Structure 1
Amino acid sequence: MSKKVKVIPCSGMGKVYGLMARETALKVVSELCPEEAETICLAYVVTGDAEAREKIEGFRCITLDGCPKLCAAKNVPLAGGIVAKELRMVDVAKEFKGAKPGDATSLTEEGWQMVDHIAEMVVGLVKEIGKEA
């Protein structure tokens, strides 16, 4: 079983912040720290998929939510995962006052800059959590 920190984004369909959460998770696990982090599809977690549950049960996770419903942050513990840190895209977006990140299907240049910023934050968290394990 992988000891990697789990980065779980919300599905956020139909919302730019959901798209940002997914893109951030993919950047972290594919480009920035693939040896230390991995992601699992939240839809599998929510529907009780046995393989997804096995991958997060008892593991420290970082959740990335696109809206105040906090689907990732709420469902990871229900599946046995440990939420070590939760980030809401809308909170981080406040640092980019006036930015137009895009829409539900595509990000603007400003949106990609926000994703890069959040991904760097997540990498720091992955490294911090990895040391604690």
Structure 2
Amino acid sequence: MAFKLTSAAFLAAIVTVGAAAPLAAAPAMTKVDIAAFDPDKDGTIDAKEVETAAAAAFAKLEKDKDGTLDAKELEGRLTAADLKKADPDNDGTLDQKEYVALALGLFKAADPDNDGTVDARELSSPAGSALVQVIR
């Protein structure tokens, strides 16, 4: 079951990132949950780890092997409006580059202290939850 971000939280993420940022929000994360995206086990997620997780999530979701994710393959991670905002070429799908860019934008929104990492507290924010929804 997907939880949707409020319009205000979504707008804040877009303004913070300066680009389209979706999403359906995931449940709050804990330190134990960070481990799934934290191969260096430092207790935080950095941009490289987000890129890796987003690419893996893309590969897992991309069932028809056409190189893109459509609304059905996204399995409720994005609303139709959010998909449109994250789709710069307006083809109705996200390729891996667009999907990773979306995740990185959410990462930036989830890192309000701009230290280049997201910790458990930051992941429990609306922007962090949206990030998790995309990389899980």
Q: TM-score, length-normalised on structure 2? A: 0.29
Q: TM-score, length-normalised on structure 1? A: 0.29
Task: Give the number of the structure whose residues are more often strand, by fraction.
Answer: 1
Instruction: Return the structure number with greater relative CO, CA threshold 8 A, min gap 6.
Output: 2
